[in-house]
Amino acid sequence: MGVFNGIGQYLSVIVDVTIVSYLIYKLLQLLRGTRSIQLLKGISVVVAGWMLSAFLQLSTLRWLIENLFELGLLVIIIIFQPELRRALEQLGRGRLFSNRGSLGEEQVITRIAGDIAKAAAQCSVQKIGALVVIERDTGLSDYIETGVPLDAELSAELLTNIFMPNAPLHDGAVIMRKGRVEAASCYLPLSENPFISKELGTRHRAGIGITEMSDAIALIVSEETGHISLAIHGQLERGLSEEELLSRLYIELRPPEKSASFWSKRGEKRE
Protein backbone atom coordinates (compact mmCIF):
# COMPACT_ATOMS: atom_id res chain seq x y z
CA MET A 1 0.00 0.00 0.00
CA GLY A 2 2.90 2.33 0.73
CA VAL A 3 4.16 1.94 -2.84
CA PHE A 4 0.73 2.75 -4.31
CA ASN A 5 0.39 5.75 -2.01
CA GLY A 6 3.78 7.00 -3.16
CA ILE A 7 2.84 6.59 -6.84
CA GLY A 8 -0.48 8.34 -6.20
CA GLN A 9 1.24 11.29 -4.56
CA TYR A 10 3.76 11.43 -7.41
CA LEU A 11 0.99 11.48 -10.04
CA SER A 12 -0.88 14.09 -8.03
CA VAL A 13 2.17 16.37 -8.07
CA ILE A 14 2.60 15.86 -11.83
CA VAL A 15 -1.05 16.71 -12.52
CA ASP A 16 -0.90 19.71 -10.20
CA VAL A 17 2.24 21.12 -11.84
CA THR A 18 0.88 20.44 -15.34
CA ILE A 19 -2.38 22.28 -14.66
CA VAL A 20 -0.63 25.28 -13.09
CA SER A 21 1.92 25.41 -15.94
CA TYR A 22 -0.85 25.32 -18.53
CA LEU A 23 -2.79 28.09 -16.78
CA ILE A 24 0.35 30.26 -16.68
CA TYR A 25 0.95 29.51 -20.37
CA LYS A 26 -2.60 30.53 -21.32
CA LEU A 27 -2.31 33.68 -19.19
CA LEU A 28 0.91 34.72 -20.93
CA GLN A 29 -0.67 33.92 -24.29
CA LEU A 30 -3.63 36.12 -23.38
CA LEU A 31 -1.40 39.00 -22.29
CA ARG A 32 1.12 38.79 -25.12
CA GLY A 33 0.91 41.74 -27.48
CA THR A 34 -0.88 43.98 -24.96
CA ARG A 35 0.26 46.76 -22.64
CA SER A 36 -0.24 44.46 -19.68
CA ILE A 37 2.80 42.35 -20.52
CA GLN A 38 4.96 45.36 -19.66
CA LEU A 39 3.10 45.79 -16.38
CA LEU A 40 3.62 42.09 -15.69
CA LYS A 41 7.34 42.58 -16.14
CA GLY A 42 7.19 45.44 -13.63
CA ILE A 43 5.44 43.21 -11.11
CA SER A 44 8.15 40.58 -11.65
CA VAL A 45 10.80 43.19 -10.83
CA VAL A 46 8.97 44.06 -7.59
CA VAL A 47 8.78 40.37 -6.61
CA ALA A 48 12.48 39.95 -7.40
CA GLY A 49 13.22 43.00 -5.23
CA TRP A 50 11.26 41.46 -2.35
CA MET A 51 13.21 38.18 -2.61
CA LEU A 52 16.50 40.10 -2.74
CA SER A 53 15.55 42.20 0.28
CA ALA A 54 14.73 39.04 2.23
CA PHE A 55 18.04 37.41 1.25
CA LEU A 56 20.15 40.50 2.07
CA GLN A 57 18.02 41.37 5.15
CA LEU A 58 17.11 44.82 3.85
CA SER A 59 14.37 45.37 6.41
CA THR A 60 13.15 48.78 5.20
CA LEU A 61 12.87 47.73 1.57
CA ARG A 62 11.19 44.47 2.58
CA TRP A 63 8.69 46.31 4.78
CA LEU A 64 7.83 48.70 1.92
CA ILE A 65 7.30 45.91 -0.62
CA GLU A 66 5.27 43.78 1.79
CA ASN A 67 2.95 46.72 2.39
CA LEU A 68 2.55 47.07 -1.36
CA PHE A 69 1.64 43.38 -1.55
CA GLU A 70 -1.33 43.98 0.76
CA LEU A 71 -2.93 46.06 -1.99
CA GLY A 72 -1.58 43.78 -4.72
CA LEU A 73 -4.79 41.90 -5.48
CA LEU A 74 -6.83 45.08 -5.89
CA VAL A 75 -4.11 46.65 -8.03
CA ILE A 76 -3.91 43.57 -10.26
CA ILE A 77 -7.69 43.56 -10.76
CA ILE A 78 -7.63 47.23 -11.75
CA ILE A 79 -4.59 46.98 -14.03
CA PHE A 80 -5.57 43.76 -15.77
CA GLN A 81 -9.30 44.47 -15.92
CA PRO A 82 -9.55 44.26 -19.76
CA GLU A 83 -7.55 41.00 -19.88
CA LEU A 84 -9.51 39.46 -16.99
CA ARG A 85 -12.76 40.33 -18.72
CA ARG A 86 -11.50 38.84 -21.97
CA ALA A 87 -10.45 35.65 -20.17
CA LEU A 88 -13.86 35.32 -18.50
CA GLU A 89 -15.59 35.88 -21.83
CA GLN A 90 -13.49 33.17 -23.46
CA LEU A 91 -14.10 30.86 -20.50
CA GLY A 92 -17.83 31.44 -20.83
CA ARG A 93 -17.63 30.48 -24.50
CA GLY A 94 -15.46 27.45 -23.71
CA ARG A 95 -12.54 28.88 -25.68
CA LEU A 96 -9.96 29.60 -23.01
CA PHE A 97 -8.69 26.03 -23.26
CA SER A 98 -9.01 25.67 -27.02
CA ASN A 99 -7.63 27.20 -30.18
CA ARG A 100 -9.37 30.11 -31.82
CA GLY A 101 -12.31 29.09 -34.01
CA SER A 102 -12.34 29.92 -37.69
CA LEU A 103 -14.59 32.35 -39.53
CA GLY A 104 -15.14 29.76 -42.25
CA GLU A 105 -13.26 27.76 -44.83
CA GLU A 106 -9.96 29.06 -46.16
CA GLN A 107 -11.44 30.14 -49.49
CA VAL A 108 -13.99 32.26 -47.62
CA ILE A 109 -11.22 33.79 -45.52
CA THR A 110 -9.27 34.58 -48.68
CA ARG A 111 -12.30 36.35 -50.20
CA ILE A 112 -12.96 38.36 -47.04
CA ALA A 113 -9.32 39.42 -46.69
CA GLY A 114 -9.18 40.29 -50.39
CA ASP A 115 -12.29 42.48 -50.31
CA ILE A 116 -11.12 44.34 -47.20
CA ALA A 117 -7.60 44.85 -48.58
CA LYS A 118 -8.98 46.09 -51.91
CA ALA A 119 -11.29 48.57 -50.17
CA ALA A 120 -8.44 49.79 -47.96
CA ALA A 121 -6.22 50.32 -51.02
CA GLN A 122 -8.95 52.31 -52.79
CA CYS A 123 -9.51 54.49 -49.71
CA SER A 124 -5.75 54.93 -49.35
CA VAL A 125 -5.30 56.21 -52.91
CA GLN A 126 -8.16 58.67 -52.53
CA LYS A 127 -7.21 59.54 -48.93
CA ILE A 128 -10.60 58.54 -47.61
CA GLY A 129 -10.64 57.92 -43.87
CA ALA A 130 -11.90 54.46 -42.93
CA LEU A 131 -12.27 52.32 -39.83
CA VAL A 132 -13.28 48.66 -40.17
CA VAL A 133 -13.53 46.32 -37.17
CA ILE A 134 -13.63 42.54 -37.62
CA GLU A 135 -15.24 40.64 -34.77
CA ARG A 136 -13.59 37.41 -33.68
CA ASP A 137 -14.25 35.49 -30.45
CA THR A 138 -15.28 38.42 -28.24
CA GLY A 139 -18.77 39.65 -29.11
CA LEU A 140 -19.15 43.30 -30.14
CA SER A 141 -22.94 43.56 -29.89
CA ASP A 142 -22.75 46.53 -27.51
CA TYR A 143 -20.83 48.53 -30.12
CA ILE A 144 -22.89 47.24 -33.06
CA GLU A 145 -26.03 48.61 -31.38
CA THR A 146 -24.55 52.14 -31.42
CA GLY A 147 -24.51 52.17 -35.22
CA VAL A 148 -26.85 51.67 -38.15
CA PRO A 149 -27.62 47.97 -38.79
CA LEU A 150 -26.86 46.74 -42.31
CA ASP A 151 -26.36 42.95 -42.27
CA ALA A 152 -25.02 43.20 -45.82
CA GLU A 153 -22.85 40.94 -47.93
CA LEU A 154 -19.23 42.12 -47.87
CA SER A 155 -17.72 43.70 -50.97
CA ALA A 156 -14.88 46.13 -51.56
CA GLU A 157 -17.26 48.51 -53.33
CA LEU A 158 -19.66 48.54 -50.36
CA LEU A 159 -16.92 49.41 -47.86
CA THR A 160 -15.51 52.12 -50.11
CA ASN A 161 -18.92 53.72 -50.65
CA ILE A 162 -19.72 53.69 -46.92
CA PHE A 163 -16.66 55.81 -46.16
CA MET A 164 -17.01 58.26 -49.05
CA PRO A 165 -16.93 61.86 -47.77
CA ASN A 166 -20.40 63.28 -47.03
CA ALA A 167 -21.95 59.81 -47.21
CA PRO A 168 -24.59 59.27 -44.47
CA LEU A 169 -22.60 56.50 -42.74
CA HIS A 170 -19.01 57.63 -43.25
CA ASP A 171 -18.55 58.75 -39.63
CA GLY A 172 -17.74 56.05 -37.11
CA ALA A 173 -16.71 52.45 -37.66
CA VAL A 174 -17.95 49.56 -39.75
CA ILE A 175 -18.19 46.33 -37.73
CA MET A 176 -18.03 42.97 -39.48
CA ARG A 177 -19.30 39.68 -38.10
CA LYS A 178 -18.85 36.27 -39.75
CA GLY A 179 -17.87 37.79 -43.07
CA ARG A 180 -20.82 40.20 -43.26
CA VAL A 181 -21.04 43.95 -42.73
CA GLU A 182 -23.12 43.99 -39.57
CA ALA A 183 -23.37 47.75 -38.94
CA ALA A 184 -21.87 51.10 -39.88
CA SER A 185 -21.38 54.45 -38.15
CA CYS A 186 -20.62 52.66 -34.87
CA TYR A 187 -19.03 54.33 -31.85
CA LEU A 188 -15.94 52.71 -30.36
CA PRO A 189 -14.06 53.23 -27.07
CA LEU A 190 -10.95 55.38 -27.38
CA SER A 191 -7.65 53.96 -26.20
CA GLU A 192 -6.35 55.37 -22.93
CA ASN A 193 -2.78 54.29 -23.67
CA PRO A 194 -0.60 57.33 -22.85
CA PHE A 195 2.21 56.04 -25.08
CA ILE A 196 0.27 56.37 -28.33
CA SER A 197 1.85 58.85 -30.72
CA LYS A 198 0.34 62.33 -30.50
CA GLU A 199 0.09 62.48 -34.29
CA LEU A 200 -2.59 59.78 -34.29
CA GLY A 201 -6.15 61.06 -34.30
CA THR A 202 -9.48 59.84 -33.00
CA ARG A 203 -9.91 57.21 -35.74
CA HIS A 204 -6.64 55.48 -34.81
CA ARG A 205 -7.32 55.74 -31.08
CA ALA A 206 -10.74 54.17 -31.56
CA GLY A 207 -9.24 51.35 -33.61
CA ILE A 208 -6.62 50.66 -30.95
CA GLY A 209 -9.20 51.03 -28.18
CA ILE A 210 -11.53 48.31 -29.49
CA THR A 211 -8.61 45.88 -29.83
CA GLU A 212 -7.62 46.58 -26.23
CA MET A 213 -11.14 45.72 -25.08
CA SER A 214 -11.55 42.63 -27.26
CA ASP A 215 -9.71 40.30 -29.63
CA ALA A 216 -11.13 42.12 -32.67
CA ILE A 217 -9.02 43.34 -35.59
CA ALA A 218 -9.25 47.00 -36.59
CA LEU A 219 -8.28 48.38 -40.00
CA ILE A 220 -7.62 52.11 -40.17
CA VAL A 221 -7.00 54.28 -43.23
CA SER A 222 -5.73 57.77 -42.47
CA GLU A 223 -7.65 60.62 -44.05
CA GLU A 224 -4.61 62.91 -43.87
CA THR A 225 -1.89 60.61 -45.26
CA GLY A 226 -3.77 57.68 -46.77
CA HIS A 227 -1.59 55.29 -44.76
CA ILE A 228 -3.09 51.89 -43.95
CA SER A 229 -2.77 50.62 -40.38
CA LEU A 230 -3.85 47.46 -38.60
CA ALA A 231 -4.56 47.27 -34.85
CA ILE A 232 -4.38 43.90 -33.08
CA HIS A 233 -4.36 43.41 -29.29
CA GLY A 234 -3.75 47.11 -28.71
CA GLN A 235 -0.71 47.21 -31.01
CA LEU A 236 -0.70 49.29 -34.21
CA GLU A 237 1.07 48.26 -37.42
CA ARG A 238 1.39 51.31 -39.66
CA GLY A 239 2.23 51.93 -43.30
CA LEU A 240 1.01 48.62 -44.72
CA SER A 241 0.72 48.03 -48.46
CA GLU A 242 -2.28 46.25 -49.98
CA GLU A 243 -0.26 43.04 -50.27
CA GLU A 244 1.00 43.26 -46.69
CA LEU A 245 -2.50 43.95 -45.40
CA LEU A 246 -3.91 41.01 -47.37
CA SER A 247 -1.26 38.70 -45.91
CA ARG A 248 -1.80 39.92 -42.33
CA LEU A 249 -5.58 39.61 -42.57
CA TYR A 250 -5.35 36.10 -44.00
CA ILE A 251 -3.01 35.00 -41.21
CA GLU A 252 -5.19 36.50 -38.50
CA LEU A 253 -8.51 35.22 -39.86
CA ARG A 254 -7.60 31.78 -41.13
CA PRO A 255 -8.64 28.75 -39.09
CA PRO A 256 -5.92 27.11 -36.98
CA GLU A 257 -4.31 24.04 -38.48
CA LYS A 258 -5.73 20.87 -37.01
CA SER A 259 -2.31 19.29 -36.89
CA ALA A 260 -0.83 22.13 -34.83
CA SER A 261 1.04 21.11 -31.72
CA PHE A 262 -0.61 21.59 -28.34
CA TRP A 263 2.25 23.84 -27.22
CA SER A 264 2.60 25.76 -30.51
CA LYS A 265 2.26 29.51 -30.11
CA ARG A 266 -0.10 31.58 -32.15
CA GLY A 267 2.70 33.97 -32.91
CA GLU A 268 4.77 31.14 -34.46
CA LYS A 269 1.92 30.24 -36.78
CA ARG A 270 1.99 33.75 -38.16
CA GLU A 271 5.59 33.59 -39.29
What ranges do the domains of the chain cover?
A: 2-92, 106-256
- The one-digit pLDDT tens for each residue of the chain (271 residues) are 565 666 777 788 888 888 888 877 776 666 554 555 556 677 778 788 878 888 888 888 778 877 777 676 676 666 666 666 666 665 655 554 444 444 446 788 889 999 999 999 999 999 999 999 999 888 888 899 999 999 999 999 999 999 999 889 988 999 999 889 999 999 999 998 888 888 889 999 999 999 998 889 999 999 999 999 999 999 999 999 999 999 999 999 876 554 444 434 444 433 3
How many other C-beta atoms are found inside a 10 Å radius of the C-beta of residue 117? 24
| SS3 state of residue 229 | strand
C-alpha dist (Å) from residue 52 to 64, 149, 163:
13, 58, 57
Q: Where are the alpha helices (DSSP H) in 32-146?
A: 36-56, 59-70, 72-79, 81-92, 106-126, 141-144
**CATH class of domain segment(s) 106-256:** alpha beta
The answer, as to whether pTM is greater than 0.85, is no
